[in-house]
A and B are shown apart, each in its own frame.
Chain A
């Protein structure tokens, strides 16, 4: 930029010096010299001087600046000869090609999108310098500070140039050591778990948190503050957080200086309100802490939200809850009084939804708890944002409001969503003791046609089971919060090992489901199925042979579920209960009534006893009972015990069986239970290794046609105990279970070792 700036100053003086001020003279012709590619009219459009004007140094200077600002010209000069104004320009060259050399960590396409210059664009020294900075910034963001970038220009004919960025990446700079000063209550290793930046270590080759990133440093300060506030240290402050670069620019040393202050307890908790018809004491139940508990900022924040919701629910449209804090330094207590007042009276004028390029407007709008014209209520707005987020169609959901120009007490709610890809193609390979090697291909679109509908299709082949599933769900059937769905499935199962026969099932199911509230859900289902028992081995049990091979099932059933778990995918806290009843007999060849109950309880014992947080207790229980209505229950509808529901036993290993052929026959009722403790292995979390100890329990009843003489079957409890490990490898989760049967019948079939690994990518 220096070169062209110099040119500009010289031109201005020359222009100025040549024409003595005051020599008026009109310009009758403007001559443009030196244009090659750019047509003269373009130069004229940027100039403020026109033919026929009086010569005015200010205007000429203005035109000079305009022409420079276009960035199209390396040099511009103007001479006033007699009546003619001569504008001579030197065009900036055009870039023919851009190349990058020496860039290993960041690939060419990425660098190209980062820089401004493109082939066929005008080359200016200023833009090249800017692009050098952009490349350096890109490298810094991925943690490499020892990078140097040298732009090289190769001149070509017709005023064109080739541009090459020679990049020398140098070694990557990582965080070698994180140390804390002034921390007495929590030691350095505990605080290292709190901050996100981590020290460089051999097993962190995949993660990028061991590089220095200024934004992450400020985020770490926030994490530290939140951690201390959560545990009652109201006076906590991060005095300083500095990262020094080593002389060889290969490592950062980070030091956090903190002052913890004292640990506070809650003082008396008060509730006051100016709302006439509201009795504040009635709301005390909502507050989760009381006088004397350890102080925690999170609990105060949660209480404010709960109070706002509660008061909102009682019909007060405009509510504003503010916690008033009085700190008593020597008694180290913090007294809190929640002040509940009437908030500003505001109404929603409009709700505008933006960014839904694929999703229909109504799919988002129907999740809003507010509609236009309603009283503005921030608690409902927050819950609406959460419900839209839970749809799972959006990367980012922002709901905020701005005052409306039409009236002071009106506000416009803006819902800005950024969609994410909701289509998934999954391909899985695995092996499990029950079905052998397995290959799975799946296609799913969770936001079909932007209507929020869910379409799944999956095919899986395994040595002993192949299955095709297609299922479609409409979340808002008949414009109500009613989940309606239809499933089609075909299963071929090889049970020769367990019961020496194969069976084929072709079926379809219609589903209707709705939620009474956040936790209580109810689903009705009608199933129509054709089952066929095929190629029964010649030496199979006679009880299997006399089962009728072709059966038609027409069954209606329902499942009531009460789910209070913290997460459905990886629950650590809470419980879930479910009860289901099925009746087969609306036509079809099978007549039976079946009831199933399941319960699971998850307890984060690690947090309760302040041990390592990975300690977790899971207690599960289940019972199923069915009986034929005037007809025996067909074999492949019966319950089986052993394998996944009773570790330590083979598939259907504990089920009643034919005495001499050993084929499993199943039973009419079953009850199972399991206690599992997640055990920390003391290894770093990044390795993805988790261990568990478990003990399973089970009992199974007899089939209808039980015959003491010809069958082995005992209604007696089976018990097993064992340990297992799961490794979430880059290829997929691999889990191994070793289960030892402690209490079993002599004819039961056991299986100590169970392995399963499956990867979906």
Chain B
């Protein structure tokens, strides 16, 4: 039973990365070379991130992240490439996701209405 590996996100090819010249290339060059960034840094935006990972899922176990590569392209003040970082899975830290959620309203129909409300309701109009 082959559990196939699913690639996610945008993984730029190694030779495209090789062509980046620091201090010369601007954002438009990087856009042409690597495509639109997966994410850009907030409230400043002088770093472009290309995030990608590979996950696999065996039977009923949780989807497991096999490996993750993040390429951060930093730009200096006049918009030229300042530096490139490569991050992988082990740079990440384990975090407990907080379970609390901001409440939203919107009527969630009652169980009984759900159970019987839907019988025949969507039945297509019959044209004899």
Q: How far is the CB of A492 from chain B (nearest CB, A)?
A: 27
Q: Are A373 and B115 in contact (CB under 8 A)?
A: no
User: A514 with B115: in contact, given A373-B38, A373-B51, A395-B122 (CB under 8 Å)?
Assistant: no
Q: How far is the CB of A42 from chain B (nearest CB, A)?
A: 36
CB-CB < 8 A to B8: which residues of A? 371, 373-374
Q: In this assembly, does B123 line the interface, its C-beta being within 8 Å of a C-beta of chain A?
A: yes
Q: Once the chains are docked, how many angstroms separate the CA of A700 from the CA of B76?
A: 84
Q: Once the chains are docked, how many angstroms separate the CA of A421 from the CA of B123?
A: 6
CB-CB < 8 A to B115: which residues of A? 423, 445, 448, 455
Q: Once the chains are docked, how many angstroms separate the CA of A110 from the CA of B9?
A: 51
CB-CB < 8 A to B127: which residues of A? 110, 141-142
Partner of A375, one of B10, B60, B62: B10
CB-CB < 8 A to B9: which residues of A? 373-374
Q: Are B59 and A516 in contact (CB under 8 A)?
A: yes
CB-CB < 8 A to A239: which residues of B? none
Contact string against B for A residues 403-427, beta-carbon threshold 8 Å, 1 for contact and 0 otherwise? 0001111100000000111111100
Interface centre among B5, B10, B122 (most CB of A within 10 A): B122
Q: Are A481 and B118 in contact (CB under 8 A)?
A: no
Q: In this assembly, does B41 line the interface, its C-beta being within 8 Å of a C-beta of chain A?
A: no
User: A516 with B62: in contact, given A445-B118, A449-B114 (CB under 8 Å)?
Assistant: no
Q: How far is the CB of B31 from chain A (nearest CB, A)?
A: 8
Q: How far is the CB of B70 from chain A (nearest CB, A)?
A: 12
Interface centre among A374, A423, A482, A522 (most CB of B within 10 A): A423
- B:94-128 near A, CB below 8 Å: 111, 114-116, 118-125, 127-128
Interface of B is mostly: loop
CB-CB < 8 A to A375: which residues of B? 7, 10
Q: In this assembly, does B1 line the interface, its C-beta being within 8 Å of a C-beta of chain A?
A: yes
Q: In this assembly, does B26 line the interface, its C-beta being within 8 Å of a C-beta of chain A?
A: no
Please report the total number of A residues contacting B with Cβ < 8 Å: 44
Q: Are B118 and A423 in contact (CB under 8 A)?
A: yes
Q: How far is the CB of B123 from chain A (nearest CB, A)?
A: 5
Q: Are A423 and B120 in contact (CB under 8 A)?
A: yes
Interface centre among A313, A419, A425, A449 (most CB of B within 10 A): A449
Interface centre among A105, A110, A373 (most CB of B within 10 A): A373
Please report the total number of B residues contacting A with Cβ < 8 Å: 33
Q: Once the chains are docked, how many angstroms separate the CA of A291 from the CA of B61?
A: 44
User: A419 with B36: in contact, given A110-B127, A480-B62, A481-B60 (CB under 8 Å)?
Assistant: no
Q: In this assembly, does B4 line the interface, its C-beta being within 8 Å of a C-beta of chain A?
A: yes
Q: In this assembly, does B83 line the interface, its C-beta being within 8 Å of a C-beta of chain A?
A: no
Partner of B59, one of A142, A424, A449, A514: A514
Q: Are A450 and B36 in contact (CB under 8 A)?
A: no
Contact string against B for A residues 485-528, beta-carbon threshold 8 Å, 1 for contact and 0 otherwise? 00000000000000000000000000000111100101000000
Q: In this assembly, does A95 line the interface, its C-beta being within 8 Å of a C-beta of chain B?
A: no
User: A422 with B118: in contact, given A480-B60, A480-B61, A514-B59 (CB under 8 Å)?
Assistant: yes
Q: Are A421 and B121 in contact (CB under 8 A)?
A: yes
Contact string against A for B residues 57-84, beta-carbon threshold 8 Å, 1 for contact and 0 otherwise? 1011110000000000000000000000
Q: Once the chains are docked, how many angstroms separate the CA of A345 from the CA of B32?
A: 11
Q: Once the chains are docked, how many angstroms separate the CA of A71 from the CA of B77?
A: 64
CB-CB < 8 A to A408: which residues of B? 36
- A:325-356 near B, CB below 8 Å: 345, 347
Q: In this assembly, does A303 line the interface, its C-beta being within 8 Å of a C-beta of chain B?
A: no
Q: How far is the CB of B68 from chain A (nearest CB, A)?
A: 12
Interface centre among B57, B111, B115 (most CB of A within 10 A): B115
Q: Are B118 and A421 in contact (CB under 8 A)?
A: yes
Q: In this assembly, does A315 line the interface, its C-beta being within 8 Å of a C-beta of chain B?
A: yes
Q: Are B51 and A345 in contact (CB under 8 A)?
A: no
- B:8-66 near A, CB below 8 Å: 8-10, 35-36, 38, 51, 57, 59-62
Q: Once the chains are docked, how many angstroms separate the CA of A409 from the CA of B2?
A: 32
Q: Once the chains are docked, how many angstroms separate the CA of A423 from the CA of B114?
A: 9
Partner of B128, one of A105, A358, A406, A515: A105
Q: Are A423 and B119 in contact (CB under 8 A)?
A: yes
Interface centre among B57, B60, B115 (most CB of A within 10 A): B60
Q: Are A517 and B1 in contact (CB under 8 A)?
A: yes
Partner of B35, one of A409, A419, A422: A409
Partner of A315, one of B7, B122, B124: B7
CB-CB < 8 A to A424: which residues of B? 119
Partner of A450, one of B2, B114, B125, B128: B114
Q: Are B7 and A420 in contact (CB under 8 A)?
A: no
Q: How far is the CB of A264 from chain B (nearest CB, A)?
A: 36
Partner of A419, one of B3, B10, B122: B122
CB-CB < 8 A to B51: which residues of A? 373
Q: Are A373 and B124 in contact (CB under 8 A)?
A: no
Q: Once the chains are docked, how many angstroms separate the CA of A313 from the CA of B118?
A: 40
Q: How far is the CB of A418 from chain B (nearest CB, A)?
A: 8
Q: Once the chains are docked, how many angstroms separate the CA of A424 from the CA of B120?
A: 8
Contact string against B for A residues 524-541, beta-carbon threshold 8 Å, 1 for contact and 0 otherwise? 000000000000000000
User: A482 with B118: in contact, given A347-B35, A373-B38 (CB under 8 Å)?
Assistant: no
User: A409 with B120: in contact, given A373-B51, A423-B115, A482-B60 (CB under 8 Å)?
Assistant: no
User: A395 with B2: in contact, given A421-B119, A445-B118, A514-B60 (CB under 8 Å)?
Assistant: no
CB-CB < 8 A to B122: which residues of A? 395, 419-421
Q: In this assembly, does A317 line the interface, its C-beta being within 8 Å of a C-beta of chain B?
A: yes
**Residue of B at shortest CB range from A107?**
B128
Q: Once the chains are docked, how many angstroms separate the CA of A409 from the CA of B60?
A: 35
Q: How far is the CB of B67 from chain A (nearest CB, A)?
A: 13
Q: Once the chains are docked, how many angstroms separate the CA of A450 from the CA of B117?
A: 12
CB-CB < 8 A to A347: which residues of B? 10, 35-36, 38
CB-CB < 8 A to B38: which residues of A? 347, 373
Q: How far is the CB of A383 from chain B (nearest CB, A)?
A: 11
Q: Are A481 and B121 in contact (CB under 8 A)?
A: no
CB-CB < 8 A to B60: which residues of A? 480-482, 514
Q: Once the chains are docked, how many angstroms separate the CA of A448 from the CA of B127?
A: 29
CB-CB < 8 A to A419: which residues of B? 122
User: A449 with B1: in contact, given A105-B128, A347-B36, A421-B119 (CB under 8 Å)?
Assistant: no
Between A and B, 26 residue pairs with Cβ closer than 8 Å are: A141-B127, A142-B128, A317-B7, A345-B35, A347-B36, A373-B9, A374-B7, A409-B35, A410-B36, A419-B122, A421-B118, A421-B121, A421-B122, A423-B115, A423-B116, A424-B119, A425-B119, A445-B114, A447-B118, A448-B114, A450-B114, A481-B57, A481-B60, A515-B59, A516-B59, A517-B3
- Beyond the given A373-B8, A373-B10, A445-B114, please list 11 additional residue pairs across the A-B interface where CB-CB is below 8 A: A110-B125, A421-B122, A423-B120, A425-B119, A445-B118, A450-B114, A481-B57, A482-B60, A516-B1, A517-B1, A520-B1
B residues adjacent to A (C-beta < 8 A) = 1-10, 35-36, 38, 51, 57, 59-62, 111, 114-116, 118-125, 127-128
Pairs A-B, 6 closest by C-beta atoms: A423-B119, A516-B1, A407-B36, A482-B60, A514-B60, A421-B122
